[in-house]
Structure 1
Amino acid sequence: MIWFALLAFVVSCVHGDLRPLELTTTAGCYYQGSYHPVGPFSPSPCEDCHCPTSGKVICAITDCFITPCVDAVHEKDKCCPTCPNGPNCKAPDGHIIKIGETYHMNSYTICHCDGHHLGSNLAACAIRHVDPVVDPIHLHS
């Protein structure tokens, strides 16, 4: 850079112009191999960054909440996963139950999605106990 300024001054003097040259540089930042001008920028949907005049990038990373569903999708242009079918739970057999609904997994098991199982998204299931069938032959013994 110094050689360029000296060469520009010499060329300027040769032409008889003795005014000092004004060298301008474009302020900005390099972040993850890319140049960004001074100001805000988003290198990814989860990052909000700022390039100050100092050239040292400052970034905030978005923290996603736990998704209230078992069938969340992560779209390329969004930071956090979304629930396209709304909040839901999963029964032990894999059946997806919408929040507030009940599912009869079999004749002995009933599952309910109440939405209070933050983080696990498993339905609350209850097994109905059936009295064993009494053998009529041994009933009178």
Structure 2
Amino acid sequence: MISAAVLVFAITYVQGELLPLELTTTAGCYYQGSYYPIGSFKPTPCEYCQCTTSGQAMCAIADCFITPCVDAIHEKDKCCPTCPNGHNCKAPDGHIIKAGDTYHMNRYTTCHCDGHQFGSNLAVCAHIAIDPHHFPHSG
């Protein structure tokens, strides 16, 4: 972080001489190569900064929560990823299941997305075990 004050001169030409009309100081901050005036500024969608009167830039970086979906997108003007299709989960075969829905992956496997599993976007699946020795025989 580099602090700086910018001196602004207004000059006039009077009878062959250059005279400064006014001298003003505009204080601000340099942060990552850019100049910002005193006050709040936002250099990126995730950074919230304050330029103090002493020329210091103080910044906080936003922390994003885990996205509650498997198909999140990251828009360039937003800090955190969003879920355009709402909360969802992924079945082991890659199928995306909406929160609250059940998906029959095959005859023996049913997967459910309850949307309440913190930190995991995998569907909960149940497998029905079939014992071939206990199948009723026809005939």
TM range (shorter): 0.7 to 0.9
Matched-pair identity in %? 75
User: 1:6 maps to what in 2?
Assistant: none
User: 1:110 maps to what in 2?
Assistant: 110
1:123 and 1:93 map into 2 onto residues whose CA distance is: 11
Query: Structure 1 or 2: larger strand share?
Result: 2
- Aligned partner letter, 1:129: A
Q: 1:58 to 1:135 in 2, by over 3 A?
A: closer
Q: Does 1:42 align with 2:42?
A: yes
Deviation string, structure 1 residues 16-36 (Cα, Å, up to 9, x no partner): x9xxx9632210000000000
Q: What RMSD, in angstroms, separates the aligned Cα atoms of the two structures?
A: 2.6
User: 2:132 maps to what in 1?
Assistant: 132
Query: Structure 1 or 2: larger helix share?
Result: 1
Between 125-134 and 30-39, report the one with greater CA deviation: 125-134
Where does structure 1 lack aligned partners over 5 or more consecutive residues? 1-14, 137-141
1:53 and 1:77 map into 2 onto residues whose CA distance is: 29
User: 1:101 maps to what in 2?
Assistant: 101
Where does structure 2 lack aligned partners over 5 or more consecutive residues? 1-16
User: 1:119 maps to what in 2?
Assistant: 119
User: 2:28 maps to what in 1?
Assistant: 28
TM-score between both structures, scaled by the size of structure 2: 0.79
2:128 and 2:74 map into 1 onto residues whose CA distance is: 38
User: 2:73 maps to what in 1?
Assistant: 73
Instruction: Work out the number of aligned pairs and report it.
Output: 122
TM-score between both structures, scaled by the size of structure 1: 0.78
1:114 and 1:47 map into 2 onto residues whose CA distance is: 33
Task: Determine which structure has more spread, i.e. the larger CA radius of gyration.
Answer: 1
